[in-house]
Amino acid sequence: MTRLLLGVTLERICKAVLLLCLLHFVIIMILYFDVYAQHLDFFSRFNARNASRAHPFSNSSRPNGTIPSYGPAGAEAPSPSAKPSANQSATEKPLQPCQETPPGLVGRLLIEFSSPMSMERVQQENPDVRQGGKYTPLDCLPRQKVAILIPFRHREHHLKYWLHYLHPILRRQKVAYGIYIINQFGEDTFNRAKLLNVGFLEALKDDEEYDCFIFSDVDLIPMDDRNLYRCYEQPRHFAVGMDKFGFRLPYAGYFGGVSGLSKSQFLKINGFPNEYWGWGGEDDDIFNRISLNGMKVSRPDIRIGRYRMIKHERDKHNEPNPQRFTKIQNTKMTMKRDGISSLQYRLMEVSRQPMYTNITVDIGRPSPRLARG
């Protein structure tokens, strides 16, 4: 009997040892492939650096992986709006419209903020970007003309990284674009949505042919260039999964970070609200405006709509808006009278820098009643 029990015990010990060996083998294989992938990534980045030195037009945002390029899953096809060049001679072969899925896309990108960045470096990396931060593809006719608007104050460090990554991404996407920094004058409470309303009008003053508007925070960098910065049949929310949210959509009605509307869509909702002073609430109000006007928000696939955020402390004079929850509930009553139709501001300066156009504006301050909460 004792021998039988001893045999059963030894059998169980052998099975346990075998399972441990199997588990050890699996772990070793996982680590092996992880190290192998890191080596591939290192060599791909090394080759990308050498290529960028030899060819100044090459990608300066280093690829992470070799995923084949494809368009965003479930994305609607954008409507062409390109026009032939006025100075194109009759003997030249006419340019064809740019492909809806540009062939030069890289896919997943390695985004990091540890390397020092300067505006001089950004300028050297992008010699084909015109004064004011404008670019037009030379080998095809872009389907849309896109104004990218960034609400801004005291974020020069973030802006350098944003320009470093976004200019090469946008060029590969074959976008005709202009970048506008909407800089709030003074030190009063920040108002993101009102600055974006200003950007919409000022960009159209600069170029009335803009038919698509991308609204982006300066601290958000896309991690995949297949997340195409263009407008769609429905308003677009690009920043589906930020790293600070664990690369997940925080809630179904979230419309923050990076979004896009065509000119007609923006005017249909009367632009953005002007009365959200401080942090929070305006993106939910915009989502309500879209829904109340019979439109739906479209998004890229979660695998493509990932973003890396540059970590920072909350800005001074951008404290949470205590009235935001009440205001969100009243969008239906306020959106007709509060928006692009009621916008008031004072233009302080327009400065065309090599990599962007800076628009400094005085948008006032919250009324004493709003400031008290």
Distance in angstroms (rounded) separating the CA atoms of residues 103 and 59:
14
Q: Which amino acid is at 117?
A: M
Q: Clarify whether residues 21 and 63 are in a common domain.
A: no
* Inside any domain, residue 109: yes
Q: Enumerate residues 6+ apart whose C-beta is below 8 A from 178.
A: 132, 133, 134, 146, 147, 148, 203, 206, 207, 210, 357
Q: Clarify whether residues 22 and 67 are in a common domain.
A: no
* Inside any domain, residue 147: yes
Q: Clarify whether residues 232 and 290 are in a common domain.
A: yes
Q: Do 224 and 238 touch, CB atoms closer than 8 A?
A: no
Distance in angstroms (rounded) separating the CA atoms of residues 180 and 218:
11
Q: Clarify whether residues 50 and 61 are in a common domain.
A: no
Token pair recorded at residue 261: 């509307």
Distance in angstroms (rounded) separating the CA atoms of residues 179 and 169:
13
Q: Clarify whether residues 142 and 260 are in a common domain.
A: yes
Q: Clarify whether residues 105 and 137 are in a common domain.
A: yes
Cα angle at 315 between 309 and 319, to 5 degrees?
A: 110
Query: Which amino acids are annotated catalytic?
Result: 217, 219, 279, 282-283, 309, 312, 314
Our count of domains for the chain comes to 2
* Inside any domain, residue 89: no
Distance in angstroms (rounded) separating the CA atoms of residues 177 and 355:
12
Higher per-residue confidence, 63 vs 147: 147
> What pLDDT score was predicted for residue 326?
72
* Inside any domain, residue 170: yes
- Which range marks the domain in which residue 39 is found? 1-54
Closest CA to 41 of 64, 67, 69, 62: 64
In the chain, the percentage of residues whose pLDDT exceeds 70 is 73
Distance in angstroms (rounded) separating the CA atoms of residues 362 and 339:
17
Distance in angstroms (rounded) separating the CA atoms of residues 91 and 82:
20
pLDDT digit string, tens, across residues 15-48: 777 777 676 666 666 545 544 444 444 444 444 4
127 has a pLDDT exceeding 60:
yes
Cα dihedral 185→188→194→199 (10° resolution): 10
Q: Clarify whether residues 50 and 102 are in a common domain.
A: no
Q: Which residues pair with 152 in a beta bridge?
A: 183
Q: Clarify whether residues 49 and 197 are in a common domain.
A: no
Distance in angstroms (rounded) separating the CA atoms of residues 24 and 373:
60
pLDDT digit string, tens, across residues 249-285: 999 999 999 999 999 999 999 999 999 998 678 999 9
